[in-house]
Amino acid sequence: MNTRSIIKSKLIAPCGINCMICRGYLLRKKNKCPGCWGDNVNKSNSCVRCKIKNCDNLHKTKSKFCFECEKFPCLRIKQLDKRYRTKYNMSVLENLENIKKLGVREFVQNEKIRWTCSECGGIICVHTGYCSNCGEKKK
């Protein structure tokens, strides 16, 4: 397997997005984003200020994922889900339900299959739909 296609559980954001398939993590050559759980040094301002990652309920309950919150699914998650379903054909609500049902390890294994390029083993970017390694479009 291509080393670029290693998806780790620490790269699964509280909202269920796999940071490994995000263009900020995947495609940046300089100042690569470390993912939601990494420090804020190389993150975009929108990621640093993310209302989901910085949610008081997550911090109060020391929850790792939004599905653990009593307010799940909150309006922010519903809005994010709608945007990602519409623009990128991916559901954060489905991701979170799968993490809850399967556990993060099995979810990550499924993500490896879902987002690995069949041509070269690279990672498909959720935002562009293209392999970060060979440029093939996800089928």
Amino acid at position 133, single letter:
N
pLDDT of residue 42: 72
Is there a contact between 33 and 44 (Cβ–Cβ < 8 Å)?
A: yes
Is there a contact between 132 and 122 (Cβ–Cβ < 8 Å)?
A: yes
Concatenating the DSSP letter of every residue in 80-123 gives HHHHHHHHHS--HHHHHHHHHHH-HHHHHHHHHHHHB-TTTS-B
pTM beyond 0.75, yes or no:
yes
For the chain, domain boundaries: 11-115
pLDDT of residue 102: 95
The pLDDT profile of the chain, 139 residues, written as one tens digit per residue, is 343 445 577 889 999 999 889 888 877 777 778 888 877 777 777 778 888 888 887 777 778 899 998 889 999 999 999 999 999 999 999 999 999 999 999 999 999 999 999 999 999 999 999 998 898 887 6
Amino acid at position 90, single letter:
M
pLDDT of residue 83: 96
pLDDT of residue 3: 38
* Residue whose C-alpha is closest to residue 107's, from 34, 4, 7: 7
- Tracing tokens 């990602």 back to the chain, one arrives at 84
Interatomic CA distance for residues 88 and 99, integer angstroms: 19
